Amino acid sequence: MLNVTGDLPGDSWGIFTFLCAALCNLPALPALNCSEELGAGQSIQQTYDLTRYLEHQLRTLAGTYLNYLGPPFNEPDFNPPRLARAERVPSATVDLDLWRGLTDNARLAANYRAYSRLLCYLRVLDGQVGTAELRHRLAHFCASLQGLVLSIGGVMSSLGYPLPAGPAGPPAGPPGAPPAPNDFLKKMDDFWLLKELQTWLWRSAKDFNRLKKKVPPAVVTLRLEARGF
């Protein structure tokens, strides 16, 4: 207890001095350090989450873009046959059993190549649309899709798989192809690009959902770092 002058009484001062001395001579307590080892499991989970996000994002973008193209492309029952011109767009139309029979490495490599190529075509669309709002949405989606390409590359690296032959990132420019001879066929190209992209994202989400069940999640380790002993 302090007296009115702010000085400690004799007994209290002795106790205070003893406690200070005891605390100063205590050994340093071990420090608890929590660190997370970022492994393949977390990389796969992040890629899966990004794929689902892109699925949601594409639904909004596709609706806006098809309205921009106008009828018949924005009609719900419009389902034209795939033209020979559309074959240059990576197709996700593969027998499901055949696709599942591929190795994880082969499926990841196919996803990496497909999204790298699809990204090129989307960037071309971004430079052709006539409205600022649609250009903004396309640019945002392209940025997210590029993130997916890089994320798939990260999954492959974490699993010890080499990246597909060619540039490590998306191609710098669009694949060479003759321009559409008329406006309708140009719109048909855009329609199939969005349709294939939608199918790729749907299948990729299933791929990464299965893959994350095969790979254990990231391990959290606790380390005791003793200091002062």
Structure tokens at 152: 């798939």
Among the ranges 3-7, 93-97, 146-150, 160-164, which has the highest mean pLDDT value? 146-150
More confident residue, 94 or 73: 73
For the chain, domains (ranges, CATH) are 40-170+182-213 (1.20.1250.10)
Query: Taking 70 as the threshold, does the pLDDT of residue 104 lie above it?
Result: yes
Q: What is the pLDDT of residues 204-223, one digit of tens each?
A: 999 999 999 988 765 433 34
At 11 the pLDDT is 54
Distance separating alpha carbons of residues 67 and 74, to the nearest angstrom = 5
User: Inter-axis angle of helices 104-126 and 183-214, to 10 degrees?
Assistant: 150
More confident residue, 136 or 173: 136
Distance separating alpha carbons of residues 122 and 141, to the nearest angstrom = 9
Q: Which residues pair with 221 in a beta bridge?
A: 35
Question: β-strands 219-225, 31-37: how paired?
Answer: antiparallel
pTM tops 0.75: no
Give the confidence band of 27 by pLDDT, cuts at 50, 70, 90: very low
At 4 the pLDDT is 41
At 224 the pLDDT is 37
The alpha carbons of the chain give a radius of gyration, in whole angstroms, of 29
All residues at 6 or more sequence positions from 174 whose CB lies less than 8 Å from its CB, including other chains:
120, 121, 123, 124
More confident residue, 140 or 11: 140
Determine if the peptide bond prior to 72 is cis (ω within 30°).
yes
Query: Taking 90 as the threshold, does the pLDDT of residue 159 lie above it?
Result: yes
Segment 84-112 mean pLDDT: 84
Distance separating alpha carbons of residues 45 and 69, to the nearest angstrom = 35
At 84 the pLDDT is 64
CB under 8 Å, gap of 24 or more: what pairs does 97-103 form?
99/203
Q: In terms of Cα–Cα distance, which of 193, 180, 183, 118 is closest to 149?
A: 118
Distance separating alpha carbons of residues 155 and 109, to the nearest angstrom = 11
Give the confidence band of 86 by pLDDT, cuts at 50, 70, 90: low
At 152 the pLDDT is 96
Among the ranges 4-8, 100-104, 143-147, 181-185, which has the highest mean pLDDT value? 143-147
